[in-house]
Amino acid sequence: MASILTTVGIIYVLVSETLIAIPPNEAFFQLVSPKQFFTDTRWTPQFSDRHFGILPLVCGTFLVAGIAALIGLPIGLAGSIYLSEYAAPRTRKVVKPILEILAGIPTVVFGYFALVFVTPYALRPIATGLFGLDVQVFNAASAGIVVGIMIIPIVSSLSEDALRAVPQALREAAYALGSSKYHVSTRVVVPAALSGILASFLLAISRAVGETMAVAIAAGQTPALTLNPLRSVETMTAYIVNVSFSDKPHQSLDFKALFAVAMTLFAITLVMNILSHLVMRRYRESYQ
């Protein structure tokens, strides 16, 4: 089955380059110890003093994904509550296509938007103008903001499905007890739909983690173990892209490092996707 082949292919490729040696190929982890890979805090494959600690890349990825989650999850959820509980059918017919269009915009466009508009016209005026903070041209915040916007449609549409699946009888019972729409929505409907909402969150974060182009454009190419969103960082995905440009020989360590990073990325997103499905299944079972 083609789909199985694909997965097998992915796993095989990643594993063969990183874990298991197939002579005459040497695997990455034979040349660089896993301990160093996961705990070293410097990622400098190109320097003469080579370090292969993936932490800066992971940190960059999660800094961007974290900002994206901070923006995308609440807005997506609030939007879905509006669509499910408050909006008239006519309004839904207008807003939903808009969100679908938003979801269809290629990520390079968002990267462009982050670099050309968000940093100079939004971040700099606020951070530097108001707070006197230094904002680099490439920074994690602008990437995080646009990735957050990108994941709004995911959260919105899946959470809305979850909310609408809550039986109307539950809402009626709550109204009959003399509660306002606000209470019904927040204290009855949202808690009842929680697993579906959580599943959508996980899926959205997974998407943010795997996002490549917007961060490659806007976040930068300097790996840094930092929590400062106004600095440039490099994410795992951006690293892979940047390395692909250079035509490194197949056997070189730099090249193999690429696979190691890719495998880490694959593992992280796989875990999140599986979690999301488990949570989703629990949500389907919660109504008798």
Partner 1 sequence: MSAAAPAPGIGLVRTQPSARPGLVGQTFAGVCAISAWLGLGVLIVLLVGVLWQGAGWLSWSFMTHYDSRHPEQAGVLAGLWGSLWLVFLATIFAVPIGMGAGIFLEEYEKKGWLRTLIEINLSNLAGVPSIVYGILGMAVFVKMFGAFQGRPKVLEIGFASAHLEIPLPFGRTLLSGGLTLGLLILPMVIVVTREALRAVPASLRQASYALGATHWQTIRHQLLPAAIPGIITGVILSVSRAIGETAPLLVVGAAVYLANAPGGIESPVDVIKHPGGALEAPFDTFTALPVLIFNWISRPEKEYRHVAAAAILVLLGLLQVFNIAASVIRARMQHKARW
Partner 2 sequence: MLNGLSTIIRDRADAQAVLPSDLKANMKPKLEARNLSFFYGATQALFDVTLSIPERSVTALIGPSGCGKSTFLRTLNRMNDIIEGTRVSGHVLLEGTDIYEPGIDVVALRKRVGMVFQKSTPFPKSVFENVAYGPRVSGHRGSKALAELIEASLRRAGLWDEVKDRLGDSALELSGGQQQRLCIARALATNPDVLLMDEPASALDPASTARVEDLIFELKQNYTIVIVTHNMQQAARVSDRTAFFNHGHLIEVDATPKIFTRPGQKQTEDYVTGRFG
Mark 22-41 with x for binding to partner 1 (rule: CB under 8 A) and - for no binding. Answer: ---x----------------
Q: Does 182 bind partner 1 (CB under 8 A)?
A: yes
3-class SS at 51? strand
Q: Does 178 bind partner 2 (CB under 8 A)?
A: yes
Please report how close the Cβ of residue 238 comes to partner 1 at its closest, in angstroms. Answer: 9
Please report how close the Cβ of residue 54 comes to partner 1 at its closest, in angstroms. Answer: 16
On the CB side of 141, how many CA atoms lie within 13 Å of its CA? 19
Q: Which of 5, 93, 121, 187 binds partner 2 (CB under 8 A)?
A: 187
* Contacts of residue 264, Cβ cutoff 8 Å, sequence gap at least 6: 54, 58, 236
- Give, as ranges, the residues between 86 and 115 that touch partner 1 (CB under 8 A): 86-87, 95, 98-99, 101-102, 104-109, 111-113, 115
Nearer to partner 1, 56 or 212 (CB): 212
Candidates 17-25, 57-65, 188-196, 258-266: pick the segment binding partner 2 (CB under 8 A): 188-196
Q: Does 253 bind partner 1 (CB under 8 A)?
A: no
* Token pair 């190691």: residue: 260
Please report how close the Cβ of residue 82 comes to partner 1 at its closest, in angstroms. Answer: 4
Q: Does 210 bind partner 1 (CB under 8 A)?
A: yes
Q: Are 113 and 218 in contact (CB under 8 A)?
A: no
User: What sign results for the dihedral spanned by CA atoms 153, 107, 209, 56?
Assistant: negative
- The C-alpha angle with vertex 207 and arms to 202 and 211, in degrees rounded to 5, equals 150
Nearer to partner 1, 145 or 192 (CB): 145
Q: Which does 174 bind (CB under 5 to 8 A by kind): partner 1, partner 2, none?
A: partner 2
Nearest to 10 by CA among 284, 287, 280, 269: 269
3-class SS at 52? strand
Dihedral angle at the C-alpha atoms of 220, 225, 228, 230, nearest 10 degrees?
A: -10
Give contact residues for partner 2 (rule: CB under 8 A).
167, 169-180, 183, 187-188, 191-192, 286, 288
